[in-house]
Amino acid sequence: MKNSISNHSEIMLPRLKNLIFFLVFLISAVISTSSYHPLDSLTPSELNQTQTLVNDYFSSPHQNERFHYVGLDEPEKSDVLSWQSSSHTQKIPSRRAFAIVRVNSKTHEVIVNLSNNSIISDKVYNGYGYPLLNFEEQLAAGNLTLSYPPFIASIQRRNLKLEEVVCLSFTVGWYAERKSSRLVEVMCYYLNGTVNLYMRPIEGITATVDLDQMKIVAFRDRAVVPVPKAEGTDYRSNSSVQDLVKQVGPGFTLDGHVVRWANWELHVSFDMRAGLMISLALIYDSEKGQYRSVMYRGFISELFVPYMDLTEEWYYRTFFDVGEYGFGLSTVTLEPLKDCPENATFMDGYITSQDGSPVLVPNIICIFERYAGDIMWRHTEAGIPGQVIREVRPEVSLVVRMVAAVGNYDYIVDWEFKESGSIKVSVGLTGLLEVRGTIYTNKDQIREEVYGPILAENTIGSNHDHFINFNLDLDVDGVANSFIKNNLQTVRALGNTSPRRSYWRVNSQTAKTESDARILLGSGATELLVVNPNKKTKVGNFVGYRLIPGVITGPLLSSDDYPQIRGAFTKYNMWVTPYNKAEKWAAGLYTDQSHGDDGLPVWSSLRNRKIENKDIVLWYTLGFHHVPCQEDFPVMPTLTGSFELRPTNFFEHNPVLKPSQYATDPPNLSASGDNSGAFTR
């Protein structure tokens, strides 16, 4: 009888626990529904709810269950736009979470309905590639190496102190071999007099770790190479900024995750894979008296960093920082007065740990007004006799910023919104180089290929690239848009019509299908426009936005090289696809050890869908070829690249002709209208 009661309790207690949890959730949902935005990041309570439901579903906590991603399973775009155009009076779409979980060495895609506390689906992924690495397994792989007897012997052979050694995990890529295991290569560095471990690599030693089994499956000690010196590598300063932050009131309002500033309204959220996400960006048109849509969603989809060193410990260093390591997972706390100015407002974010529990990362995003002394527009007129007329508008903009420290590099990401309607997106590269130890102490000694310049004694800086792909779902004054390529062509003057012999004109081509819109920039003068073919200005031009590239960079690897096969989205600077909720990641959902059989190039090339007058998405790649120099050593000053989304015939005239009436009193009326993109305020 005792055993029967005990067994009955074991069955009933979890059910009772779930019932209580569900009732508490329903009560809290009723109280807080009005404050939700359908694109808000998952809250700590929602992350806890997801963890509990997934654990119960797999009868966990299970020894072999590991969470690799938990994020918002976005509602259908049409539902979000309907909710928005109804002045938020429609019922908010059901809140759902998407989790990627490894259980017994299998990858599960689990969708959780948070609104009714249930598991909607569980799909086992059987294709190539693996999910994001989580922090815990990377740390465990490094610690495993530090306690491995052959590794300890190798460290002793080099007369190094084991307690000064730090080991890090590196993804291994794919080189046409058949892999059935989640593997990382572990490389180690030496402190002993510096915190700049990346400048002191211990070359020649590599341990291969199976992450699912968490054991070393291969070990190599190839050669003893001098460890670069610690002298001159420490980048810390003894000075500090005062802890007291001057309280300056922001010129914007923050309502949950919705930011209103000047003539802009936008939604800011955080994802543990993508990091900062900007959604539902609207701009107020004072002449029309309404908000108009510009962008439904913008975020970094992938960041591909291939190194050019072909030596044994380096050839596989071809990183996908979003799909392998998680750009959001790598996002760091921002320091007031250092990372962001004194007038900044901060937002927190949450990631999930290996067991699925939420982890707070404070001050993960900052928002501030920037006045850098720039000029928005000006003119001085001295042509009128007896008069000098001068009119100037200072540039004030709104910046939304995050910083991701992915291993050695720190990436500063700014979304800057201007009253003129422009959105400038910048990525700054700083942090520490990946360097290789060498026997050489001077450039004149080198008589072989070393794959980069010498930066200091026994220190080679490896040549490499950075390709940052942005997913830009523009909705220019509505959902239905077209992509136009304007080629500027030289034309010879005919006959005797003019003393001139040439001029240039614009040859416009509207892309009908995805293949028409693939563009490799650099071969000529080209304008890239997204227009709404259903709406025109008073003088007959299609309303639109154009993308203005910064420095144009393309891949230099051969198309049959394995890293390039996996990073084939870099083949073109621009791709355009029809909107598809499932198509978010340029290198595919499962990037670690992927084979290049999923992602943007595959979707676009195989389907070649129609994109004229459709809901379309731009995929733009910002790139850098980085040949290191001595000024990058021991820490690299920020190198910045950017692009701009600029209104082109979107307004009837200059929208900032007069000083902004919204700088101190932004319009904050309820939205009304339909899904066409025009929202009356």
Q: Active-site residues: which are they? A: 321, 409
The backbone torsions φ and ψ at residue 372, rounded to the nearest 5 degrees and listed phi first, read -105, 15
Percentages (nearest 5) of helix, strand, coil residues in the chain: 15, 40, 45
> At a CB cut-off of 8 Å and minimum separation 6, what does 469 contact?
300, 301, 302, 303, 304, 569, 570, 586, 600, 619, 620, 621, 622
Cα of 124 vs its chain's centroid, Å = 26
Q: CA dist 255 to 36, 83, 266, 372, 470, Å?
A: 10, 17, 10, 26, 26
CB 563, CB 318: distance < 8 Å: yes
Burial class (CB in 10 A: 0-12, 13-18, 19+), 220: middle
**Contact status, residue 320 vs residue 599, Cβ threshold 8 Å:** no
First to last CA, the chain: 69
Decide: helix, strand or coil at residue 446.
coil
Q: Count the helices and strands in the chain (H runs, E runs).
A: 7, 33
334 Cβ contact partners less than 8 Å away, ≥ 6 residues apart: 340, 344, 346, 363, 364, 365, 366, 401, 402, 403
Cα–Cα distance, 92 to 109 (Å, whole number)? 24
State CA 360 to chain mean position distance.
Answer: 19
If one counts every other C-beta atom within 10 angstroms of the C-beta of residue 15, the result is 10
Tokens of 252: 């914007």
Q: Torsion angle of alpha carbons 167, 171, 175, 176, nearest 10°?
A: 120
